[in-house]
Amino acid sequence: MKNRIQGKSMDEWKREHPLLEQIIRTHEVFWTNPQYVGSSDRIITPILSEVDIQDAEKRLLRFAPYIAKVFPKTSETKGIIESPLVKIDKMKEELKALYNQEISGSLYLKCDSHLPISGSVKARGGIYEVLKIAEDIAIEKRIVVETDDYTILASEKCRELFSGYSIVVGSTGNLGLSIGIMGAILGFKVIVHMSSDAKQWKKDLLREKGVTVLEYDSDYAQAVEAGRIQAQQEENSYFIDDENSQNLFLGYAVAGKRLKQQLEHLQILVDQDHPLFVYLPCGVGGAPGGITFGLKTVFDDHVHCFFAEPTHSPAMLLGLMTRLHDKVSVQEFGIDNVTDADGLAVGRPSGFVGKTLEKDISGVFTIQDQELYRLLRRLADSEGIYLEPSALAGFAGPVKLFAESKGRQYLEQSNLRSKMKNATHIVWATGGSMVPEEMMSHFYNKDKAGE
Ligand SMILES: *Cc1c(COP(=O)(O)O)cnc(C)c1O
């Protein structure tokens, strides 16, 4: 029997998880996680704690003067890389019209699409990890101590020091962008291994910054593997491991407390009578996972985190559902991992993220590419906000939460039905502001073309 997956036949898997039938047919689904538990039973993670997030926050603060200096656009926020949270009432009306579904509560967009420096959620994790590497080297070489003014790192002398080190990463695009831009400005040699689905403009932009881009005729997993091998063979070489990196994860996790401040500023309550729902596009899982980790440490049971994946790349969904995590890929279940949502085109999820957050992720839903384009156009028309296709995946969440029986069941079981009028829904917009205009207009027109 060749077609066995971790010892079980496809029929056995389907019997155990009837929803698999729909997933394999690449139909849209809404899955709630039976492993999800309330905080009283939750050990968030034995490996990482709130203290690690605080440590990451402090590191970003130490680097803020440096960031403000080398990226003048961030001087307004004093070198803090953060994005706006905006209320999108008009889009809420659009969703109602499109899907004939009322969303109870208010709807917001977290615009990581407009994060400075690299225009995607990767400006959290990717940049953080590069800064961590730079600081470790600078401290070891006695260039700085933690209490120093880090703007000294912009000096020629420091850039020369960093040029003796290389940073290697495998990426579908956006991670490469954030690591490449940050690494290059510090003076590092950066080598980005890109999968075939990465967009040309991202490769061009990186090369312009002096980054070495190696291209692969295969998917993301092979690009990552090639990067890993290269880094092992070279001295003074750091491999940024999208699938397992705790530093990336912590960089994303800082979003939790930052969001709390933003919500307070907008006078939005989050407590047992005012639930918070967050919908996060998921590729390998690091970004949505880290953000979930950060949010759970801040809001505990009052936040409900759902991940969004393309119907053709439901990697985290399969990993969590079968509990095989990184021991399973979408291809093994006959799913092709072909999607226009390039940031989400991942066939095998991070085992680290899946296992760490097994009890914290409320559920996972999938969305078709064609819907991403439809939503892209509606959001642009109604709110004037332009996102890349991946970044729209979250919008299916609030719709399906109310439309699907599993969603309504979740609300019932969590005792939230009567509280939903006070709920805040945040769709996490993960990228888009750096997409060239011509490309964006192509995305925008895709919707019409498909109808
Ligand atoms: C990378 C990315 C994601 C998902 O992040 P993962 O860490 O891969 O799960 C979502 N949206 C966009 C636009 C991305 O670039």
Written as one string, the DSSP assignment of 272-287 is: TTB-EEEEEE-SSSHH
Tell me which of 111, 113, 282, 369 to substitute to probe ligand 1's pocket, judged by most ligand atoms within 8 Å of the beta carbon: 282
Ligand 1 geometric centre to CA of 220 (Å) = 12
From the CB of 394, is ligand 1 less than 6 Å away?
Answer: no
What backbone phi and psi angles, to 5 degrees, belong to 342? -60, -30
**What's the pLDDT score for residue 174?**
92
Q: What is the pTM of this model?
A: 0.96
pLDDT at 2 over 70: no
Task: Please tell me whether residues 360 and 273 are part of one structural domain.
Answer: yes
Cβ–Cβ < 8 Å for 101, 95: yes
Say which residues have a Cβ less than 8 Å from residue 51's Cβ, sequence separation at least 6: none
* Residue type at position 85: L
Domain's final residue, options 248, 278, 303: 248
Confidence of residue 343 (pLDDT cuts 50, 70, 90): confident
Same domain, yes or no, for 335 and 357?
yes
The verdict on 319 and 386 lying in the same domain is: yes
The answer to whether residues 268 and 371 belong to one domain is yes
Asked whether the predicted pLDDT for residue 122 surpasses 60, the reply is yes
286 within some domain: yes
Task: Judge whether 37 lies within some domain.
Answer: yes
> Residue 203's domain spans which residues?
122-248
Higher pLDDT, 447 or 83: 83
Residue 317 lies in a domain: yes
> Quick check: CB of 251 below 6 Å from ligand 1?
no
Domain count, the chain: 2
Query: How far does the centroid of ligand 1 lie from the alpha carbon of residue 285, in Å?
Result: 7
Ligand 1 center to 391 CA (angstroms): 8
Vertex 438: Cα angle to 437 and 440 (nearest 5):
65
HSE-CB for 227 with a 13 A CA cutoff:
30
Q: Does position 346 have pLDDT exceeding 70, yes or no?
A: yes
Atom of ligand 1 nearest to the CA of 290: 7
What six digits make up the tokens of 88? 């999108």
In a domain, 152, yes or no: yes
Nearest to 394 by CA among 432, 350, 443, 444: 432
Query: How far is Cα 95 from Cα 118, in angstroms, rounded to an integer?
Result: 29
Half-sphere exposure of 182 (CA within 13 A, CB side): 31
Considering the domain boundaries, does residue 4 fall inside one?
no
Q: Among 202, 226, 248, which residue terminates a domain? A: 248
**4 Cα–ligand 1 center, Å:** 30
> How remote is the C-alpha of 392 from its chain's centroid?
12
283 and 241 fall within a common domain: no
Q: How confident is the model at residue 294 (pLDDT cuts 50, 70, 90)?
A: very high
Same domain? 214 vs 316: no
Residues 151 and 286 in one domain: no
C-alpha span between 107 and 420 (Å, rounded): 12
State which of 216, 248, 280 marks the end of a domain: 248
Residue 37 has pLDDT above 90, yes or no: no
Of 163-177, 209-223, 253-267, give the lowest mean pLDDT range: 209-223
CB of 281 shorter than 6 A to ligand 1: yes
Instruction: List Cα–Cα distances, 438 to 19, 112, 443, 445, in angstroms.
Output: 39, 21, 9, 11
Q: Which residues contact 139 (CB under 8 A, 6 or more apart)?
A: 145, 146
Query: Is 33's pLDDT higher than 70?
Result: yes
User: Ligand 1 test: best mutation among 115, 120, 129, 364, most atoms within 8 Å of CB?
Assistant: 120
Residues 109 and 19 in one domain: yes
Hey, CA dihedral for 58, 62, 65, 67, is it positive or negative? negative
CATH of the domain at 236: 3.40.50.1100
Q: Can you tell me the mean pLDDT for 367-388?
A: 98
The CA 112 to ligand 1 mean position distance, Å, reads 11
